[in-house]
Amino acid sequence: MSTDARQGKGIDANGLRQCLRIAFGGWLGFVISQLMGWNYGVFFTVFPMFLVGLLPVLNGHVIRQFLGNALINCVEVSLVVGLTQHMPLIMTGLVFALFYTRFRLMARGPMFLFGANGVLTLSILFHFASYPSLDLADLLASNLVASVLAVGIAALMYVVFPDVAPRKPPPRVEKSASRVNHETLIGAVTATLSFLVFQTLDLRDSLSAQMATILILFALGYPGARISAGKRAVGTLLGCNLALSMQLLLYTQTQHFTLVALLYWLGLMLFAHAHVKEGGGSGIGFGGLTTLGILFGQSLSPNQDLIYSALYRFSSMCVALAATLVVMALLHRCLNAWAPTRAEA
Confidence band of 8 (pLDDT split at 50, 70, 90) = very low
Q: CA neighbours within 13 Å on the CB side: how many for 325?
A: 18
Q: Is the pLDDT of residue 149 over 90?
A: yes
Instruction: Compute φ and ψ for 99, nearest 5 degrees.
Output: -65, -40
Confidence band of 299 (pLDDT split at 50, 70, 90) = low
Confidence band of 3 (pLDDT split at 50, 70, 90) = very low
Q: Is the pLDDT of residue 46 over 70?
A: yes
Average pLDDT over residues 235-257: 77
pTM across the whole model: 0.85
| Contact between residue 193 and residue 300 where contact means Cβ atoms under 8 Å apart | no
Which range is least confidently modeled, 15-19, 151-155, 230-234?
Answer: 230-234
Which range is least confidently modeled, 164-178, 191-205, 301-315?
Answer: 301-315
| Contact between residue 317 and residue 212 where contact means Cβ atoms under 8 Å apart | yes
Q: Is the pLDDT of residue 53 over 50?
A: yes
Q: Rounded distance, CA 68 to CA 44, Å?
A: 17
Q: Is the pLDDT of residue 254 over 70?
A: no
* Per-residue pLDDT at 132: 73
Average pLDDT over residues 36-60: 86
Average pLDDT over residues 71-95: 89
Confidence band of 202 (pLDDT split at 50, 70, 90) = low
Q: Is the pLDDT of residue 48 over 80?
A: yes
| Contact between residue 124 and residue 146 where contact means Cβ atoms under 8 Å apart | no
| Contact between residue 219 and residue 195 where contact means Cβ atoms under 8 Å apart | no
Q: Residues of the chain with pLDDT > 70: what percent?
A: 89
* Per-residue pLDDT at 209: 77
Q: Is the pLDDT of residue 5 over 50?
A: no
Which range is least confidently modeled, 52-66, 174-188, 298-312?
Answer: 298-312
